[in-house]
């Protein structure tokens, strides 16, 4: 899927339609202090095999998250992600 680098869309902070820069959101490292990560470390530590079964199949596509940055107020917002096999930002 190809998207332009700049689109005109609604800014919830300025409350108006303005040009927005598009950037792809990269996944950040999981926090070691979050409850899910602490539970995962507790369960996987010690003697024994891996506690969860391996997933049978991978999903056919990855979910793409896009961040829209307003050209006027420079604040960013996101919309719900969508699935795309290939994602590209064009000029």
Q: What is the CATH classification number for the domain harbouring 71?
A: 3.10.450.80
Its domain, for residue 2, covers 1-25+61-91
What per-residue confidence (pLDDT) applies to 43? 84
Rounded mean pLDDT of 4-21? 96
- The pLDDT, as a whole number, for residue 85 is 92
Asked if 68 and 17 touch (Cβ cutoff 8 Å), the reply is no
How does 25-64 read in b/e, with b if 16+ C-beta sit within 10 Å?
eeeeeeeeeeeeeeeeeeeeeeeeeeeeeeeeeeeeeeeb
Residue 32 placed within a domain: no
Give percent of the chain above pLDDT 90: 68
Assigned domain for 77 exists: yes
| Residue 67 lies inside a defined structural domain of this protein | yes
Instruction: Identify which of 39-43, 58-62, 64-68 has the greatest average pLDDT.
Output: 64-68
Is the confidence at residue 27, as pLDDT, over 90? Answer: no
Q: In a 10 Å sphere around its CB, with 0-12 CB exposed, 13-18 middle and 19+ buried, how is residue 67 labelled?
A: middle
- Residue 1 in domain: yes
Q: What's the number of domains the chain is made of? A: 1
pLDDT band at 76 (very low <50, low <70, confident <90, very high): very high
């Amino acid at each position: 899927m190809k998207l332009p680098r700049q689109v005109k869309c609604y800014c919830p902070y300025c409350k108006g339609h303005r040009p927005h820069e598009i950037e792809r959101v990269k996944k950040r490292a999981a926090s070691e202090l979050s409850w899910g990560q602490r539970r995962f470390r507790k369960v996987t530590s010690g003697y024994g095999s891996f506690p969860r079964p391996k997933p049978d199949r991978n999903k056919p596509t990855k979910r793409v998250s896009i961040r829209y940055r307003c050209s006027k107020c420079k604040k960013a917002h996101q919309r719900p992600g969508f699935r795309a096999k290939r994602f590209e930002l064009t000029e």
